[in-house]
Amino acid sequence: MKLNLVRHSMTSPRARLLVLGAVLGLLLAAGTLAVGATALFSTTVAADLIAAALAVWAVGWLLGPLFAGGGEGDLRPEQFALLPVSPRRLATGLLGARLGALPVLVALPAVLAQLVIVVLASRVVVGLLGEVMRSRLGAALVAVPWAVIIAAVCDGGVLLYALGQNSVLTRGFDPWLGSLLRALPSGWGLVSVETAGGTAWPLAFGVLAGMGVLVLALLAVWSVLLGRRTTGALAARARVGGTALGRGLPRTPLGAVVAKELRTWSRDMLRSYYWFFALAFSLALCLLPLVAGLTIYLPWAGSLVAIMAAAVGVNLYSADGSALWISLMTPGVLRADLRGRQLAWLLVVAPTSLVITVLGLALGADPQRRGDRRGRGPHGPAGGVRAAAPA
């Protein structure tokens, strides 16, 4: 059924996108394999890098559906609602549609189990997202990954500097980070192969058994979520009460607009997405340099939150649609409407921005140490770029 749907829906733009995705995926997979096959790295370093690569692949499987509009693909659970199929059997069938030396004997089931785990985890994430999509939590789940990825790209020079300073490519990750990457489900397959290569067979089979248990647990959770979708028993939308800030406002046109805007900031999905994106991007941009030992960005985190919140809030009238005519055609309300929106934005953004600024000033470097740091690292003259706070 899936193959027929894909074949009949392969328009020219979609075909190009599929080919491009396949090529990029093959190149990334080849790069992952090359890390383990090349002789440039020692066994320990190669294992650490593979563990990190597997973690990135797992994150890609989990977050990819969020960026692709839900990730349901061609087969939707609602299409099977009228068929006499149990949720568990439906989950197993849809999973099949999604899967399109001594250590080697362990590696084969480990690879298969690892693939099933990430596919099932991706389906569970999509199912849970469908449960909370109409809430602020759903807006945060979509906004935060995007914000962190963009911040990481902006801080790419700092991250590369930290990578070079720590000599990761010659001595591997720090022990705690290597252990953490192996403790994540994405690293269990690597652990089973490593322990099998060292003749620690009980641990290798124990890890494989743990992966099997995780597969069954994810399959059970997905079955429950599919059952809720096929029966129409989606989570009821939580009732949002009045905004506490709006209760003490004066009963004037300005107060009415402020109260309305505060409720909109707490209930509207688009506003929530904008706010969580501004908050997550600002924090990530200022916190990621900590991996290179740079704390000069911390005092500016609160200011960056305000700047990003202002940037995403410059066109709030666009969300009004045809309701904008009510304000335009009513005499004497434009000033109160504009000032009310500005005051509501200030009440939403200012407290968070001030708290982050105070914490950043307390945790950031003092002026003397900050001046010393400007002479070294990627943000000083030795690195070719002068230290500067984000603006």
Query: Does 295 map to a domain?
Result: yes
Q: How many whole angstroms separate alpha carbon 126 and alpha carbon 133?
A: 10
Last residue within a domain, chosen from 207, 230, 253: 230
pLDDT in tens, 244-274: 555 667 778 888 888 888 888 888 888 888 8
pLDDT at 281 over 90: yes
Lowest-confidence range among 107-111, 201-205, 261-265?
107-111
Q: At CA 139, angle to CA 137 and CA 64, rounded to 5?
A: 105
- pLDDT tens-place string over residues 120-156: 777 777 777 666 666 777 777 778 888 888 888 888 8
Give the percent of the chain with pLDDT over 70: 57
Question: Which of 268 and 115 is assigned the larger pLDDT?
Answer: 268
Based on the fold, state whether residues 91 and 179 are members of the same structural domain.
yes
- Asked if 297 and 387 touch (Cβ cutoff 8 Å), the reply is no
Domain membership flag for residue 282: yes
Greater confidence (326 vs 389) lies with: 326
Residue 118 lies in a domain: yes
Residue 206: pLDDT above 60? yes
Indicate whether 278 pLDDT > 80.
yes
Residue 310: predicted pLDDT: 92
Q: Which of 180, 206, 230 is the last residue of a domain?
A: 230
Domain count, the chain: 2
Residue 270 in contact with residue 319, Cβ under 8 Å? Answer: yes
- Give the mean pLDDT of 291-310: 88
- Residues 6 or more apart whose CB falls under 8 angstroms from that of 182 comprise 51, 188, 190, 191
Whether 53 maps to a domain, the answer reads: yes
Same-domain pairing of 336 and 220:
no
Higher model confidence: residue 351 or residue 179? 351
Predicted pLDDT of residue 87 = 60
196 with 316, same domain?
no
76 lies in the same domain as 117:
yes
Q: Quick one: 217 and 274 in the same domain?
A: no
- Kindly tell me if the per-residue pLDDT of 325 is higher than 50: yes
Task: Say which amino acid occupies 379.
Answer: H
162 vs 66, higher pLDDT? 162
**Last residue in a domain, options 230, 260, 279:** 230
Q: What is the mean pLDDT of residues 164-172?
A: 64
Q: Tell me the mean pLDDT in the region 322-326.
A: 79
Region 339-344 average pLDDT: 89
Q: Band the pLDDT of 379: cuts 50, 70, 90.
A: very low
Q: Do 223 and 98 fall into the same domain? A: yes
Same domain, 149 and 255: no
CA distance 39 to 32: 14
Could you give the CA distance from residue 124 to residue 65 in angstroms, rounded to a whole number? 11
pLDDT at 160 over 80: no
Q: Are residues 222 and 257 in the same domain?
A: no
Residues 224 and 248 in one domain: no
Q: Would residue 19 count as lying in a domain?
A: no
Residue 333, domain member (yes or no)? yes
Q: What is the pLDDT at residue 364?
A: 78
Would you say residue 256 lies in a domain? Answer: yes
Residue that wins the pLDDT comparison between 286 and 246: 286
pLDDT band at 180 (very low <50, low <70, confident <90, very high): confident
Burial class of residue 4, CB neighbours in 10 A (0-12, 13-18, 19+): exposed
Q: Is residue 28 part of a domain?
A: no
pLDDT at site 389 = 36
pLDDT greater at residue 307 or residue 79: 307
Residues 218 and 358 reside in one and the same domain:
no
Q: What integer pLDDT is reported at residue 159 of this predicted model? A: 74
pLDDT, mean of residues 273-288: 91
Query: What mean pLDDT is reported for the chain?
Result: 72
Q: Token pair of 108, please?
A: 């084969």
pLDDT score of 383? 40
Comparing CA positions, the residue from 308, 312, 310, 319 lying closest to residue 342 is 310
Is the pLDDT at 312 greater than 70, yes or no?
yes
Of 21, 123, 126, the residue nearest 69 (C-alpha): 126
Q: What is the pLDDT of residues 38-84, one digit of tens each?
A: 555 666 676 777 777 777 777 776 666 665 554 445 566 655 655 65
Residues 213 and 267 in one domain: no
The parent domain of residue 269 ranges over: 244-383
The pLDDT-based confidence of 373 (bands split at 50, 70, 90) is very low
Phi/psi class of residue 69: alpha, beta or left (left: φ > 0; alpha: ψ in -120 to 50)? left
Is residue 72 domain-shared with residue 192, that is, in the same domain? yes
Give the pLDDT confidence score for residue 303 in this predicted structure: 93
